[in-house]
A and B are shown apart, each in its own frame.
Chain A
Amino acid sequence: MRKGRIIIEVDRCKGCLLCIAACKPKQIKISKKMNKTGYNIVEFCDEGKCNACTLCGIICPDAAIEVIEIIETEKK
């Protein structure tokens, strides 16, 4: 399975929850943190289940999500 993680740009996020609905492995949740415009932002739960599918980034209206794929390379 592909592995990945996401970075949420705090000041762009408006906590619209569309990414939470799009995330199949349920790796995003709403947090109690607030950004400078007063929105409750979402946060990434780093449980190793993110498969870098990018659906959260695609649905995010505010381009607040950056998706990073983690590629395992064998030790030499």
Chain B
Amino acid sequence: MSTEKTIYKKPTSLTDRPFTYCWGCGHSTIHKLIAEIVDELGIRETIIGVAPVGCAVFAYDFWNFDVTEAAHGRAPVVATAIKRVHPGKTVFCYQGDGDLASIGMAEIIHTANRGENITVIFINNTNYGMTGGQLAPTSLIGQVTTTSPNGRDVKNYGYPIRVSELLAQFEGVKYLERVKVTDAVSVIKAKKVIKKAFMNQINGVGFSMVEVLASCPANWRKDPIESNEMIDGEISKYYQVGVIKDVK
């Protein structure tokens, strides 16, 4: 005789629509983690997400809770407005590096400086994924992209921006951590960190941001396992994983 018990399954905060991301894409993993956290905290009815422009533009199709869309880079200010109008709701914005670190740099800096009580999930995959892998402010030195075929040259493009370290100087910022999702252990760790960022908001701590080093196998021209190895290697060397700021 034996009985069966389901111990792991798709979270209910994800819809039945399969993700339209490429194979092994970091966005899918983070979407799943956010949905699991929303399930665990029981906030599906009170959470509002703000989707970016980029690969995750269709995030509202995949999350089974309220998600709105912002103009390119403007997600933090839209989230600010929603949070001020609905202080009892949990509001987060989900942005890629092209959205947050390039066109939306002004918005994220001022939102962080004002110390808005929102949560920001920042996906850093070192290129513009949706439009075909162009150079982003976060692309590594020497990284070959479609707009830097000879590799990123600091003379022409400058140095990769470490956004989390940049935001750490603002008084309004309470929690910053960088994580990766390259293996099961790091996924479990990333989930704890994202959950803490949401709990900070629920407890009224203030502005929290989690930077996730995500893979972009299609544009890096690598398979998912090689992409994760690249994150564990050269990307983690430049963007060091760990707590950057945690004001208790």
What is the interface of chain A, defined by CB distance below 8 A to chain B?
A: 4, 9, 11-12, 14-18, 21-22, 37, 39, 52, 54-55, 57-75
Contact = CB atoms under 8 A, between A and B. Distances in A.
Given A17-B223, A68-B7, A69-B7, A62 B28 contact: yes
Contacts of B11: 63
A22 B23 contact: no
10 contacts: A18-B225, A21-B225, A58-B187, A60-B32, A61-B29, A65-B8, A66-B8, A67-B8, A69-B4, A71-B4
Given A62-B18, A67-B6, 15 more contacts: A9-B10, A14-B22, A14-B24, A15-B23, A21-B225, A54-B7, A54-B8, A59-B183, A59-B187, A63-B11, A63-B28, A63-B32, A68-B7, A71-B4, A72-B2
A71 B8 contact: no
A37 B18 contact: yes
B92 to A, nearest CB: 19
A62 B21 CA distance: 9
Interface of B: 1-11, 14, 18-19, 21-26, 28-29, 32, 35, 183-184, 187-188, 217, 223-225, 228
B218 to A, nearest CB: 11
Nearest to A58: B184
A62 B7 contact: no
Pairs A-B, 7 closest by C-beta atoms? A61-B28, A16-B24, A67-B8, A57-B8, A14-B23, A63-B10, A16-B23
Contacts, number: 93
Nearest to A11: B18
Contacts of A71: 2-5
B3 A61 contact: no
Contacts of A64: 10
SS class of chain B's interface: helix, strand, loop or mixed?
mixed
A22 B225 CA distance: 10
Nearest to A14: B23
Contact of B7 (A11, A15, A22, A67): A67
A69 B184 CA distance: 19
B64 to A, nearest CB: 12
Nearest to A19: B184
A72 B228 CA distance: 37
A10 to B, nearest CB: 10
Given A18-B224, A61-B25, A62-B19, A68 B6 contact: yes
A15 B217 CA distance: 13
Contacts of A72: 1-2
Contacts of B10: 9, 12, 63-64, 66
